[in-house]
Amino acid sequence: MRTIKIFDTTLRDGEQSAGVNLNFSEKLEIARQLERLNVDIIEAGFPAASKGDFASVQKIAQTIKNCSVTGLARAVISDIDAAWGALKDGAEPRIHTFLATSPIHRQYKLKKTKEEVVETAVETVKYAASKFPIVQWSAEDATRTELPFLAEIIEKVIQAGATIINIPDTVGYTTPQEYGEIFQYLRNHVPSIDKVSLSAHCHDDLGMAIANSLSAIENGATQIEGTINGIGERAGNAALEELAVALYIRNNHYQASTRLNLQEISRTSSLISKLTGMVVPANKAIVGRNAFAHESGIHQDGVLKEKTTYEIISPDLVGFQSNSMVLGKHSGRHAFKNRLCELGLEVADEEANRLFTVFKDLADRKKEMTDDDLAAIVLEEKLSK
Ligand code: KIV
Ligand code: ZN
């Protein structure tokens, strides 16, 4: 069984979600909650980006002692100096520096040749390694990079002192099979690959961030990067709560687990949603309002008889109180009677059957039937006698 390290970038890539801007105390509050969740690494921000980012990364590095804290730096000496200034007092200072490697980024963004990209990467990784004990290097847009060139530059940055190599799917372009093959290729073509850990960083533009991250694990990645609730640039990053629960539930399949305290997931998700203002979609896996809600009569009847008929995850595993039976037009008699009973509105069987017809008529006109609706139906029946 392998232990996969969880690298949380909610405060860096997550904060890059359009419209999100967290202040100093909000970032600190999130970092404390991520520590309770027991992530391995917190990417606290981008120290060179602004004075505010520098101050919050510094404060988080000084405060958080049970996780490693890191900060992002471009392949620029002044960025690395800013990262060192902010992170040097941390429990385990580590830097995350990156440079784009794909032809499209080399030509249009960096305007550099392959040789110049290698030279910049090597020079900046050497500089970073002269300060930081742990240097993570990311090949931005790795999944659209020529594989021989990707292997070449990775070998050179390892020689220069990188200890973790991250393979970002920056634009969420790759498929699970292709992403796994990239990891396999690198493991077969980079001579020094066994000296470093391999990390996956997936974006969700095609809705494949989690599938790609799991494929990376099957092909040798030992660190997964992502955010809580999957927030992040454009369609977001891999949602860490989904990844951790997938590994927990399908443990036999993946033979890998994380150190996350799964019970803290619901609290962490609500906090991030509240502070970022990004509402969690109701049908979002693991943390959505409907993730443990049953509406149809067939499902409700099954769950009332035996939960595992329609629940592969127990809500309390991730810190939710219980599942819920949403009463609506698809609900059945079993759930209806059960809810009356929970509300202390016990009625005889024959009466319940009559009330169920009234309930169905009303449910046809309403999206969801509330407890007040049920009480009103029972009261009306009693008054009409
Ligand atoms: O998506 C990306 O490529 C990034 C890098 C900075 C790692 O976020
Ligand atoms: Zn990213």
Quote the ipTM score: 0.99
Ligand 1 pocket residue status of 136, Cβ below 6 Å: no
- Count CB atoms within 10 A of the CB of residue 245: 22
Ligand 1 pocket residue status of 168, Cβ below 6 Å: yes
Q: What is the pLDDT of residues 346-355, one digit of tens each?
A: 889 999 999 9
* Backbone phi and psi for residue 118, each to the nearest 5 degrees, phi listed first: -60, -45
pLDDT at 220: 98
Protein residue closest via CA to atom 4 of ligand 1: 170
Ligand 1 pocket residue status of 138, Cβ below 6 Å: yes
pLDDT higher than 80, residue 243: yes
> Which residues lie across from 136 on neighbouring strands?
96, 164
Residue 364's pLDDT band (cuts 50, 70, 90): very high
Q: What is the pLDDT of residues 288-346, one digit of tens each?
A: 999 999 989 999 999 999 999 999 999 999 999 989 899 999 999 999 999 999 999 98
Q: How far apart are CA 54 and CA 17, in angstroms?
A: 19
Protein residue closest via CA to atom 8 of ligand 1: 13
Chain-centroid distance of CA 327 in Å reads: 31
SS3 263: helix
pLDDT higher than 90, residue 382: no
Ligand 1 pocket residue status of 15, Cβ below 6 Å: no
Q: Is 334 annotated as a binding residue?
A: no
> Among 89, 161, 148, 85, which Cα is nearest to 121's?
161
Q: What is the pLDDT of residues 166-199, one digit of tens each?
A: 999 999 999 999 999 999 999 999 999 999 999 9
Alpha carbon of 70 to those of 34, 44, 88, 217, 297: distances in Å?
13, 6, 10, 22, 49
pLDDT: which is higher, 322 or 215:
215
Q: Is 204 annotated as a binding residue?
A: no
pLDDT at 381: 82
pLDDT higher than 90, residue 228: yes
pLDDT higher than 90, residue 383: no
pLDDT higher than 80, residue 253: yes
Q: How far apart are CA 179 and CA 221, in angstroms?
A: 11
Contacts of 31 (CB under 8 A, 6+ apart): 11, 42, 44, 60, 63, 64, 69
Separation of 204 CA from ligand 2 center, angstroms?
A: 10
Structure tokens belonging to residue 37: 């969740």
pLDDT higher than 90, residue 208: yes
pLDDT higher than 80, residue 125: yes
Does the pTM surpass 0.80? The reply is yes
Q: Which amino acid is at 188?
A: N
Alpha carbon of 42 to those of 2, 13, 226, 282: distances in Å?
21, 11, 10, 27
Average confidence (pLDDT) over 219-227? 98
> Among 295, 350, 186, 238, which Cα is nearest to 13's?
238
pLDDT higher than 90, residue 384: no
- Torsion over CA of 342, 346, 349 and 354, rounded to 10 degrees? -90
Contacts of 115 (CB under 8 A, 6+ apart): none
Q: What is the DSSP letter of 367?
A: S
* HSE-CB for 314 with a 13 A CA cutoff: 7
Average confidence (pLDDT) over 251-266? 98
Alpha carbon of 130 to those of 56, 70, 123, 212, 271: distances in Å?
24, 16, 11, 33, 37
Residue 141 CA, closest ligand 1 atom number: 3
Pocket test for ligand 1, best of 8, 16, 72 (most atoms within 8 A of CB): 72
Average confidence (pLDDT) over 14-34? 97
Q: How far apart are CA 145 and CA 117, in angstroms?
A: 12
Contacts for 110-117 with beta carbons within 8 Å, 24 or more apart?
A: 114/149, 117/153
pLDDT at 226: 98
Pocket test for ligand 1, best of 201, 213, 225, 231 (most atoms within 8 A of CB): 201
Q: What is the pLDDT of residues 41-97, one digit of tens each?
A: 999 999 999 999 999 999 999 999 999 999 999 999 999 999 999 999 998 899 999
Percent of the chain exceeding pLDDT 70 equals 100
Separation of 59 CA from ligand 1 center, angstroms?
A: 23
* Backbone phi and psi for residue 296, each to the nearest 5 degrees, phi listed first: -80, 150
On average, the pLDDT of the chain sits at 97
pLDDT at 367: 84
pLDDT at 164: 98
Separation of 10 CA from ligand 1 center, angstroms?
A: 12
CB 230 within 8 A of CB 213: no
Q: Is 201 annotated as a binding residue?
A: yes
Residue 201's pLDDT band (cuts 50, 70, 90): very high
Contacts for 259-264 with beta carbons within 8 Å, 24 or more apart?
A: 259/3, 259/6, 259/38, 259/40, 260/6, 260/37, 260/38, 260/39, 261/36, 261/37, 261/38, 262/317, 262/318, 262/319, 263/316, 263/317, 263/318, 263/319, 264/33, 264/36, 264/37, 264/38, 264/319
